Amino acid sequence: MKNTSREYNRKHNFKICLFLIFILGYTYHPLALAQSNSADEKNPFRVSVTYTGEFWGNLSGGVERGTAYLDNIDVNLEIDFEALPLGLEGTTVYIYGLGNQGNSISQLTGDLQGLSNIEAQNSWRFFEVWAQKKFFLANSSVLVGLYDINSEFNVLESSLLFLNSSHGLDASLALSGVLGPSTFPFTSLGGRFKINPSGGWVFKVAVLDGVPSNPANTRGTKIFWREDDGLLYLAELALYSIKGNQLERRSRTARLQRLLDRGAAERGGYKFAIGGWAYSQRRSGWIQDESEKRDLGLYAMGEYQIYSEPADPVQGITVFGRASIANEQINRLAGYLGGGITYRGLIDGRSRDDLGFSVAHAINSSAYRSVSLELNNRPSERAETNFEFTYLAVLNPSVSVQADLQYIMNPNMVPGTPNSLAVGARMLLSF
């Protein structure tokens, strides 16, 4: 009886804490504005904290019906050395701490792509620690350190509305390598070079350790540089509608913090990009009697604001899409197709709310299906398809709530697993 009472009190106190955090976030913004008016605009230190909590329920199908709560805490410190009298103009240092807690919704739905983009192993870690130097004459920059590739590579602003992980990083790249590439939740050391030679054109390349963290123990921050890890190479060429100083910013300083600043920055805004990636280390493929293979792939993606409201060009309809292929002899997926549509400001008086519908289609490799046939006497399904419908309500620039519905066809491509229907709610507080 005591254990039951303690468990009830613990959950009750937890709910009270969440409610107090929510109230703090709702009232923090006007207080912060009042303080910022008197603050030094050249303050080189920018500190922020973001709390993201989600409640999910698997209503039908999948592996098991049930509910899950999970959350994500992001703590960011950015130091702009240009505002310090040290002679380090154009230099920025960034430190990003990340904490994940809670249960798994994907264990209930059984999906492959990741129903929630904040679901991860329960742990605290340094997610990013890097220094960047800008070279203004060449409109270029060099970044070195612990780095999330999805902050700049393979990312579309409009698709960040959606909670499914494939709309952040396409599934074929996300499921590559030993532990995936250097992105959430595991990052590795590396370097990135970016240049803006003309107009809205941006070219960037990156080289990183091929295996982030430690496969034997992924809790906390693990930084190793082992010869067997090899390297991960990435390159991307992109064309943006925006030009000038806006191109100097990273696509995402923090994973979730720019949620309220998503979308085209001007009327008819767009981005189109092509890219590729490859691991230097060869590994055994799905067919064991063949030679070792290199995991590599190509992708193309784009977004375009097809309609903007006359009174406010940020409001309107944006469409996006992406496609990728990978070496199916070693990658679980042969490719990926995804896309969607968003409408910002559909409801009068709700100019920053977003409504969206998306599809994420992960295609199984034929080599993997052959192995599945040998092991299980039947092949796995050809693809997993996720349909997502979501609505984001912005209460103020510090607080938002989001309702989300996802339907998964062929979860994890396991034959016989019924299609899953899951519903969720997200609360995001940014200070």
* CATH (domain of 260): 2.40.160.180
24: Cα separation from own chain's centroid? 26
Helix (H) or strand (E) holding 25: helix 2-38
Q: Which amino acid is at 186?
A: F
Q: Which of 38-42, 118-122, 356-360 shows the lowest per-residue confidence on average (mean pLDDT)?
A: 38-42
Average pLDDT, the chain: 86
37 confidence band (pLDDT: 50, 70, 90): very low
Domain that holds residue 136: 40-430
| Predicted confidence (pLDDT) at residue 15 exceeds the cutoff of 50 | no
Answer yes or no: do 18 and 47 share one domain. no
Residue identified by tokens 């960047």 is: 132
Answer yes or no: do 158 and 134 share one domain. yes
| Predicted confidence (pLDDT) at residue 375 exceeds the cutoff of 80 | no
The answer for residues whose C-beta is within 8 angstroms of residue 292's C-beta and 6 or more apart is: 282, 283, 284, 285
Query: What's the sign of the alpha-carbon dihedral 165, 167, 168, 171?
Result: positive
Q: Tell me the whole-structure pTM to 2 decimals.
A: 0.88
Q: Which of 119-123, 141-145, 292-296, 335-339 shows the lowest per-residue confidence on average (mean pLDDT)?
A: 292-296
pLDDT score, position 1: 45
44 confidence band (pLDDT: 50, 70, 90): confident
224 confidence band (pLDDT: 50, 70, 90): confident
Q: Which of 37-41, 163-167, 369-373 shows the lowest per-residue confidence on average (mean pLDDT)?
A: 37-41
| Predicted confidence (pLDDT) at residue 380 exceeds the cutoff of 70 | yes
User: Over the stretch 166-215, which tens digit does the pLDDT of each residue have?
Assistant: 999 999 999 999 999 999 999 999 999 999 998 899 999 999 999 999 88
Question: What is the C-alpha separation between 259 and 184, in angstroms, rounded?
Answer: 16
Tally of domains in the chain: 2
Question: What is the C-alpha separation between 317 and 113, in angstroms, rounded?
Answer: 26
Answer yes or no: do 163 and 296 share one domain. yes
254 confidence band (pLDDT: 50, 70, 90): low
Answer yes or no: do 285 and 407 share one domain. yes
Answer yes or no: do 221 and 338 share one domain. yes
Answer yes or no: do 333 and 423 share one domain. yes
| Predicted confidence (pLDDT) at residue 61 exceeds the cutoff of 70 | yes
pLDDT score, position 290: 67
251 confidence band (pLDDT: 50, 70, 90): very low
Answer yes or no: do 13 and 46 share one domain. no
Answer yes or no: do 8 and 103 share one domain. no
Q: Do 334 and 369 contact (CB within 8 A), yes or no?
A: no
Q: Which residue has the higher pLDDT, 362 or 48?
A: 362
Q: Which of 57-61, 214-218, 331-335 shows the lowest per-residue confidence on average (mean pLDDT)?
A: 214-218
| Cα–Cα nearest to 342, from 169, 170, 167, 173 | 167
Answer yes or no: do 271 and 356 share one domain. yes
Answer yes or no: do 80 and 35 share one domain. no
2 confidence band (pLDDT: 50, 70, 90): very low
pLDDT score, position 289: 66
Answer yes or no: do 273 and 332 share one domain. yes
Phi, psi of 399 (to 5 degrees): -135, 135
| Predicted confidence (pLDDT) at residue 397 exceeds the cutoff of 60 | yes
| Predicted confidence (pLDDT) at residue 404 exceeds the cutoff of 70 | yes
| Cα–Cα nearest to 89, from 138, 132, 139 | 132
Q: Which of 28-32, 95-99, 270-274 shows the lowest per-residue confidence on average (mean pLDDT)?
A: 28-32
Answer yes or no: do 26 and 89 share one domain. no
Q: What is the mean pLDDT of residues 374-386?
A: 86
Q: What is the mean pLDDT of residues 250-273?
A: 61
